[in-house]
Amino acid sequence: MQDRPTFDELLAAVEHFLDTEIVPNVPGSRGFHARVSANAIRIVRRELELEDGQLAAEWESLDVLLGPEPVPAGRAILRTELLRRNGLLCERIRTGEADEGDFHAAVISHARAVVTAKLRVTNPDLLSRSLR
């Protein structure tokens, strides 16, 4: 583990610099690209903060839909295995298993939870507006 500054502190400093020094003082496309860069940093910060919990929640939700499996050790393997399991879910959806009934309702619930988690990272303002 690294000492200070933490990744969050470093990213916050760059974000602050872009938002307060560059965006207000650089017109045109460079100002626009600075805003895009600051937003990208905000997304990265939220992803780093929320990712472990979101990956675990998605795994648990897929356990309900597909049957339990042991959680892989390591974030990279977990991501790969989530892709595999989501592929299995997609196949079941393609074959019509999710067209009605309890499995349909569980798939809808899973999809809502996953999309909500993704919006918490990429665009929490949009999420909060849509929940009003």
Whole-number pLDDT of residue 88: 97
Q: How many CB atoms lie within 10 A of CB 61?
A: 20
Q: pLDDT higher for 117 or 2?
A: 117
On the question of pLDDT at 97 being above 90, the answer is yes
Question: How confident is the model over 8-36, as a mean pLDDT?
Answer: 94
Task: Work out the percent of the chain whose per-residue pLDDT is above 70.
Answer: 98
Full residue range of the structural domain in which residue 100 is found: 7-130
Kindly tell me the number of DSSP H helices and DSSP E strands found in the chain: 5, 0
Q: Is residue 85 part of a domain?
A: yes
> Full-prediction pTM beyond 0.85?
no
Q: Is residue 57 part of a domain?
A: yes
Distance separating alpha carbons of residues 14 and 34, to the nearest angstrom: 11
On the question of pLDDT at 129 being above 90, the answer is no
Q: Is residue 60 part of a domain?
A: yes
Task: Work out the percent of the chain whose per-residue pLDDT is above 90.
Answer: 89
Q: Is residue 1 part of a domain?
A: no
Counted domains in the chain: 1
Q: Is residue 75 part of a domain?
A: yes
Q: DSSP of 9-72, one letter per residue?
A: HHHHHHHHHIIIIITTT--HHHHHHHHHHHHHHHHHHHHHHHHHHHHHHHHHHHHHHH---PPP
Q: Is residue 2 part of a domain?
A: no
